């Protein structure tokens, strides 16, 4: 007569422990292999049909300076958002240089003084023309404190010159992401994914966790109605300042909201990827760029690590701001030296793509 084998509690407990250890080791091997592969591929060759500008550190955002040859890019810094700054890239020679920012002047009226200028580390950036060859630069800063830093930028004798103008700390020290200038201030997106476990899990699940604030010198910060999205990321404002276009990162969507009528219904379109930054093009359309991957790939394999290149594909679409119709522009598979695209702009007929975690800007020639 056969008898059934019974496992004692200690034996069952050991089996579960061994299983947990085995799963942990398997994940460690998988993630470790991916980490090493992308961390050691900084000098890898570009894919066929592309070329790149190399040596730039985590140029998360970029914008062309008016109709000049100069491109302004950010430097997100290291995993702690330190050692960042700004770059100037010559689109003719494809040479770049770190912006020599003059921090010596006092804050302009209506702004705070900067804290720890040597820690300045730019995330989202934006540009506002204020005169012939004169611009204001807005940059979300994580170095020293959470703030939006404003700069005066002038093209003198064909060269860009930049000086710090003032600082605006974010409300309650919340982490900013992207910024869009207005005639009387700016908009800044707040992803709200790091405040506590609840908002972080909500962010991962694609639930509304973020928001958008408007800042003016007269009123300070005011939350924008209808702008609570899942991980608010990139933001753009229409030239007439009637509309804001906001990327919901973990909900994989773009939402258009009215800046004039709080009762107007938002319009949302779904995307197949995690939308990061959004930029107007010369033809009036919007370019939306992001990572075509699972959000955990970004959270676990990139954020808070020293990995040299994000292991995620890059997607770019064109969005019609009136009809909200989406047209696919590019799907760039990750490779050892580039992944995690965040911003795309047209420079002439070429498409430039930057990344929050890579050491180069990719260029697709004759993309228009």
- H helices of 250-350, in order, are 295-301
Q: Which residues, other chains included, contact 92 with Cβ-Cβ below 8 Å and sequence gap of 6+?
A: 69
User: Over the stretch 186-224, which tens digit does the pLDDT of each residue have?
Assistant: 999 998 776 677 788 888 888 898 999 999 999 999 999
pLDDT value at residue 31: 63
User: Over the stretch 50-90, which tens digit does the pLDDT of each residue have?
Assistant: 999 999 999 999 999 999 999 999 998 877 777 789 999 99
pLDDT value at residue 205: 85
The answer to whether the beta carbons of residues 166 and 111 sit under 8 Å apart is yes
366/368 Cα distance (integer angstroms): 6
CA dihedral 58, 249, 237, 342 (to 10 degrees): 20
Question: Residue 302, class by beta-carbon neighbours within 10 Å (0-12 exposed, 13-18 middle, 19+ buried)?
Answer: buried
Q: What would the DSSP string read from start to end of 73-140?
A: EEE--STTS-S-EEEEEETTT--EEE---B--SPPPTT-BPPS-GGG--EEEEEEEEEETTEEEEEEE
> Measuring CA to CA, how many Å separate 240 from each of 195, 236, 258, 282?
34, 12, 11, 15
The answer to whether the beta carbons of residues 319 and 326 sit under 8 Å apart is yes
User: Over the stretch 349-361, which tens digit does the pLDDT of each residue have?
Assistant: 999 999 999 999 9
Of 109-123, 294-308, 332-346, least confident by mean pLDDT is: 294-308
User: Over the stretch 225-263, which tens digit does the pLDDT of each residue have?
Assistant: 999 999 999 999 999 999 999 999 999 999 999 999 988
The region, left, alpha or beta by phi > 0 then psi within -120 to 50, assigned to residue 191 is: alpha
Mean pLDDT of the chain: 90
The answer to whether the beta carbons of residues 127 and 135 sit under 8 Å apart is yes
pLDDT value at residue 24: 66
Q: Angle at Cα 85 formed by Cα 214 and Cα 273, nearest 5°? A: 60
pLDDT value at residue 66: 96
The answer to whether the beta carbons of residues 84 and 75 sit under 8 Å apart is yes
Q: How many CB atoms lie within 10 A of CB 47?
A: 15
> Domain coordinates of the chain in residue numbers?
58-169
pLDDT value at residue 234: 97
351/365 Cα distance (integer angstroms): 6
Average pLDDT of the segment spanning 269-284: 97
Place of tokens 């994000």: 310
pLDDT value at residue 256: 98
Q: How many CB atoms lie within 10 A of CB 225?
A: 15
- H helices of 6-55, in order, are 9-39
pLDDT value at residue 168: 98
The residues with which 144 forms a beta bridge, in sequence order, are none
Q: Decide if pLDDT at 2 tops 70.
A: no
pLDDT value at residue 308: 83
Relative to beta strand 326-332, strand 85-90 is unpaired
User: Could you tell me the pLDDT band of residue 368, with boundaries at 50, 70 and 90?
Assistant: confident
71/62 Cα distance (integer angstroms): 7
């Amino acid at each position: 007569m056969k008898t059934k084998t019974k496992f004692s509690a200690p034996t069952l407990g050991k089996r579960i422990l061994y299983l947990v250890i085995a799963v942990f080791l398997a994940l460690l091997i998988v993630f470790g292999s991916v980490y090493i592969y992308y961390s050691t591929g900084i000098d890898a060759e570009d894919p066929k049909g592309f070329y790149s500008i190399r040596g730039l550190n985590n140029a998360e955002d970029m914008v062309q300076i008016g109709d000049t040859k100069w491109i302004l890019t950010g430097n997100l810094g290291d995993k702690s958002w330190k050692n960042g700054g700004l770059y100037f890239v010559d689109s003719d020679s494809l040479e770049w240089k770190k912006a020599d920012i003059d921090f010596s002047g006092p804050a302009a009226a209506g702004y705070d003084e900067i804290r720890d200028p040597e820690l300045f580390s730019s995330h989202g950036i934006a540009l506002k023309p204020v005169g012939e060859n004169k611009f204001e630069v807005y940059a979300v800063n994580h170095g020293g404190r959470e703030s939006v830093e404003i700069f005066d930028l002038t093209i003198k004798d064909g060269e860009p010159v930049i000086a710090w103008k003032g600082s605006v700390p974010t409300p309650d020290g919340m982490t900013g992401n992207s910024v869009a200038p207005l005639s009387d201030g700016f908009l800044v997106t707040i992803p709200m994914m790091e405040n506590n476990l609840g908002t972080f899990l909500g962010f991962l699940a694609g639930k509304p966790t973020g928001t958008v604030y408007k800042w003016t010198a007269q009123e300070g910060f005011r939350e924008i109605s209808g702008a609570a999205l899942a991980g608010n990321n990139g933001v753009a404002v229409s030239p007439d300042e009637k509309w804001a276009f906001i990327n919901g990162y973990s909900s994989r969507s773009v939402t258009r909201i009215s800046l004039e009528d709080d009762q107007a219904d938002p319009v949302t379109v779904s995307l197949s990827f995690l939308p990061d930054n959004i930029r107007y093009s010369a033809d009036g359309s919007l370019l939306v760029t992001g990572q075509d991957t699972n959000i955990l790939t970004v959270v676990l394999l990139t954020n808070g690590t020293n990995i040299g290149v994000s292991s995620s594909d890059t997607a770019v679409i064109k969005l019609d701001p009136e009809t909200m119709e989406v047209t696919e522009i590019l799907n760039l598979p990750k490779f050892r030296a580039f992944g995690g695209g965040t911003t795309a702009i047209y420079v002439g007929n070429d498409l430039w793509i930057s990344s929050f975690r890579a050491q180069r800007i990719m260029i697709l020639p004759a993309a228009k």
